[in-house]
A and B are shown apart, each in its own frame.
Chain A
């Protein structure tokens, strides 16, 4: 478990900013306690300092997770946000997309969102932006990247993809072993 290097920090924050924009600052400057990002076995964990202090008691080999796993670095040193970060993403998300009940099921099976399943969307959502997907009763389902801007969506075909799938809560069941 070690602090992130300069490059890693930039990579992480750039990625997070895609979903939560300037709210990234709220992750770093919290009123309750200092929270930090730490790298452990290629995964980035977000946890409070007191938790970190306690985790230091555990030998590195035996430590599996500390706080919340935000994402992981791939072998090519790219940063990927994992579904475990949804808790924070949903809290601070800038753009949200609500999907209809029929769309919930297809999305949590790993499919993209088509226009037919779109129930609501945050206004002025631009193209290629990270969005958090919610069900109609506000249950966060995952996140993705918009394929079109809101204006384009209006004129799009009902079967046209509007949000590319990135991660969904179905992964907890589908690939539980890969989460950590």
Chain B
């Protein structure tokens, strides 16, 4: 599988190289057109196969050769050998074509080889010079490969993502370079300036990102994200682990059978099962099986559920008690829901909701199969649940996510998702989590808990969502009692430029390369009160003591000393009264701001007694002619607080 994919990638690279070559060999182009396209393509493919097959040994050998300083020649020999091999193969292939084609082809190949040799020589020379500079031999050994590739890259055309052309050919070399870069980056801090040879860490990281994205097939942005999330060493482990599938795990339905008995039954059917680990009492790993594990009579009768190990965790964290009311907001296909039912021993009530109707059928089927008798299956947008359902004791929200933790299961995530998707998903997740919190009754005797989980590892979809809910609801992140506190990695409280609430440390992350399960995030929240915090409305009424009205007491001596004269102009008609419609007040707002200063100065200039009358005529809202009649009322009714004054309070930011 992997080899096939690598071949695919190589083919792409080759096609690009072909295009590059076309520009150089313009005069030959016409002749080439005569050659059968298909024949050529397949020929190229063969050539490539030969190369990729000989890569691994060559990569290793070149590394070995580079260890001693003077073995450059040996390396060249190796290269030549490789080329010879290629040539042999090419010739074999060419036998199938007519002589004319063969001739042209061999000529072209000769030229190509010559060019490559020249490049290699140039690179070797440079390397040799570099060595003579007197850098320590150890470091040199470690870094040579990288230099090598970079130098060649200068000679050759650059591919997208900064991958050098020759590097892209040679998967073994990319792998080697990834390893070397990682080693280099790991020891970067302790390395002295000379050993760094003027390279920048950022450049190395960019190189690593490009290599990773080409070697493992990730989108560059996603690769970059993971390299930032993990240390380079850990990130490579993560990428490596994602190439291998996670073990198949099943969950015993303890409503129907004991784990020991189930294991016996399955072994009798020809499956090889083992307990998953210390942390769960219901899970089994299927090591091998001679029968399809998803179609045994035990499975169909609901004695166990095929479920990834990581999906146990949110339910264990939720720890539903018998007799409670529990909501699973994104339930399909029902793995976690049936586990909840199992823990509740078929008492109490489970609301299992899913937004997609076709997924709901499998949810309902699984609930019936597993013998969960107390479930209510709802097909509703999760965001509307709070409007319909009563307050419940616990809510599980396994939010829809980008799936960045289950790349081993779904490799399309590698190219399909990026940091942008993380942001997009987090919007819905925040909404759903808010609804989840609203669904829970904080006064519940046994519960009041919400568990939030995703199968993504991105910070946007996890910690940021929690941080958001901590701001808008009375909840706190609590430690997960049901799971061993040493199992799992702590939630991040800081990631690059972002800082999160310290209690998010209580959440847990699970990584494929550490825990051998899908990447997962679990957090348990406790609702503190049913009160929904809202922004405190500003009370602008006059009897509110907090509201400071503008009156004589605000006039300082300083103001009186600097009177401002006004031009003798016809005062424009004043506008609506204090009780004017709010919409008109809003419209007027902009105008006021500009004139604010002027007004204040005017206030200072006017004798206090005259203020009430004169103020509105200071040219506030010229457009409203109808306000004239109302204007007369204002001073009588409002007394001190005539309309412009009121508005000014806002502008001045008076005591709120």
Contacts and interface: CB of A to CB of B under 8 A. Distances in A.
Given A65-B375, A69-B368, A172-B369, A58 B380 contact: yes
B301 A169 contact: yes
Given A108-B300, A170-B300, A176 B388 contact: no
A62 B349 contact: no
A55 interface: yes
A84 B374 CA distance: 13
Contacts of B325: 54
Interface residues of B, number: 34
Interface stretch (A73-81, A135-143, A146-154): A135-143
A169 B300 contact: yes
A61 B331 CA distance: 18
Chain B's interface: helix, strand, loop or mixed, by majority? mixed
Contacts of B351: 54, 58
A137 B265 contact: yes
A86 B369 CA distance: 9
5 contacts: A58-B378, A63-B377, A108-B300, A135-B297, A177-B358
Nearest to B256: A139
A42 interface: no
A64 B369 contact: no
B368 A68 contact: yes
B374 A67 contact: yes
B389 A58 contact: yes
B7 to A, nearest CB: 36
A84 B301 CA distance: 10
A180 B352 CA distance: 15
Interface string B228-263: 000000000000000000000000000000000000
A65 B300 contact: no
Contacts of B373: 47, 67-68, 87
Interface in A122-177: 135, 137, 139-141, 168-170, 172-173, 176-177
B297 A58 contact: no
Nearest to A66: B376
Interface stretch (B192-200, B274-282, B359-367): B359-367
Interface in B257-306: 265, 294-295, 297-298, 300-303
A31 interface: no
B379 interface: yes
Contacts of A68: 368, 373
A5 B371 CA distance: 27
A177 B356 CA distance: 13
B390 interface: yes
A51 interface: yes
A42 to B, nearest CB: 15
Contacts of A64: 360-361, 364, 377-379
B364 A55 contact: no
A34 interface: no
B432 to A, nearest CB: 16
B378 A62 contact: yes
B388 A58 contact: yes
B361 A180 contact: yes
B593 to A, nearest CB: 48
Contact of B365 (A48, A62, A172): A172
B378 A172 contact: no
B376 A58 contact: yes
B379 A62 contact: yes
Contacts of A179: 361, 364-365, 368
Given A64-B360, A169-B301, A51 B349 contact: yes
B496 to A, nearest CB: 41
